[in-house]
């Protein structure tokens, strides 16, 4: 990786909150190895979209 925000990696996992399953999506910048976006939701599709939006807009 030569520069920040050139390559991102993401993953979605699920967590038991005590009442329901929640999905956690993380977006990581592979250059800095820092989390640049994350979101929690009760839907995996919504979670991924929110995490990408949070990661993209401050840098776009």
**pLDDT computed for residue 33 by the predictor:** 95
Tens digit of pLDDT per residue, the chain (60 long)?
789 999 999 999 999 999 999 999 999 999 999 999 999 999 888 899 999 999 998 876
Closest CA to 12 of 54, 42, 57: 42
pTM of the model: 0.84
Q: Can you point out the beta strands (E) in the chain?
A: 8-16, 21-29, 34-41
**pLDDT computed for residue 60 by the predictor:** 60
């Amino acid at each position: 990786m030569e520069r920040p925000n050139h390559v991102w990696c993401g993953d979605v996992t699920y967590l038991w909150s005590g009442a329901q399953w929640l999905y956690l999506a993380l977006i990581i910048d592979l250059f800095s190895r820092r989390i640049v976006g994350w979101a929690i939701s009760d839907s995996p599709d919504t979670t991924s979209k929110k995490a990408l939006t949070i990661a993209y807009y401050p840098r776009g």
